[in-house]
Amino acid sequence: MGIGVLAVSTASIFIRFAQQAGAGSLAIAALRLALAALVLLPFAVMRCREEYRALTLREWALMGISGVFLGAHFATWIFSLELTSVVSSVVLVTLSPLFVALGSALVLRERLTARVLLGMSIAIAGGIVIGVADAPNASSGSNPLLGNALALMGAVCIAPYLIIGRILRQRLSLWAYVAVVYGAAALTLLLAVLVSGAPLVGFEPVAYVWVALLALAPQLIGHTSFNWSVRRLPAVYATIPVLGEPIGSSVLAVILLGEVIRPLTVLGAVLTLSGIWLMSSQRNA
């Protein structure tokens, strides 16, 4: 899982570089998932035929729904990086365990303990502090409040994706599951590109290099490792590794993008990550 955390920590940096090379956010999201699916699907079809034949219509539908939510997650989060700082975007999207915990309690009947509820409260307070810190600062991005809202929406969208993964991975192998879900997410995003009229071509060549790296490292290594763990742990605990992403991403943003992190943003990040750690760190609290 440590390798997975390192892989996802590079995502926001690769996205920013691709955006600077002229690629639109929706195109980046669509190409990221399309490339990942193209790598996995031939392998999965050859290796997992029997699993696919045994699937019910309900299970196919659930994988499709999971892919739609994954596509929505990337569309909203990647767009947020156009509008707000890397640290604010990544910390707010890291609130996903909060929504996974709520969804797991409702759908999977996984118990919400007092520790989890306290952690949720602290994490929400941290998110509010980040919003307050960014509100008066144009240096946070062109529209930090909208960017922060989109990052939060990305956190919401990741919850159904992981909860469905928790359900289906009990009988499906990793490769059988992620190949179809990444493919469904890619189709969702490509349809969004078609409807919106956003271009997929015409960017600087280096933009496609960054998107390819995005597909290979954060997607195929990072997200696939989360889907590996969700079979073995309750959905909320499988999200624990995302706690490392804001740290890695923030350090890279300061070094590679020259971003300045304000003290109030740091306070909000510390509160958010502390709350998520509290709610996720002890299964039997």
Residue 76's nearest CA partner among 110, 33, 26 is: 26
pLDDT of residue 133: 66
Residue 2's Cβ-count burial label (10 Å; 0-12, 13-18, 19+) is: exposed
DSSP letter (8 states) at residue 209 = H
Give pTM, 2 decimals: 0.81
Alpha-carbon span 181 to 169, nearest angstrom: 12
C-alpha to C-alpha distances, 235 to 96, 131, 187, 285, nearest whole angstrom: 11, 27, 25, 16
pLDDT of residue 284: 41
Query: DSSP characters for 141-180?
Result: -SSHHHHHHHHHHHHHHHHHHHHHHHHHTTTS-HHHHHHH
Residue 66's Cβ-count burial label (10 Å; 0-12, 13-18, 19+) is: buried
Q: Would you give per-residue pLDDT tens digits along the chain (285 residues)?
A: 456 566 677 888 899 899 999 999 999 999 999 999 999 999 998 999 999 999 999 999 999 999 999 999 999 999 998 888 887 888 788 777 778 777 777 776 767 677 777 877 787 777 777 666 655 554 456 788 898 899 999 999 988 998 898 889 888 998 999 999 999 999 999 999 999 999 998 899 999 999 999 998 888 887 777 777 666 555 555 555 555 566 666 667 677 777 766 787 778 778 877 877 776 665 444
Q: Looking at this protein, which amino acid is placed at residue 121? A: S
Alpha-carbon span 279 to 285, nearest angstrom: 9
Alpha-carbon span 152 to 94, nearest angstrom: 8
SS3 for 127? Answer: helix
- DSSP helix, strand, coil percent of the chain (3-state; round to 5): 80, 0, 20
pLDDT of residue 29: 95
pLDDT of residue 195: 95
**Roughly how many angstroms between the first and final C-alpha of the chain, as a whole number?**
23
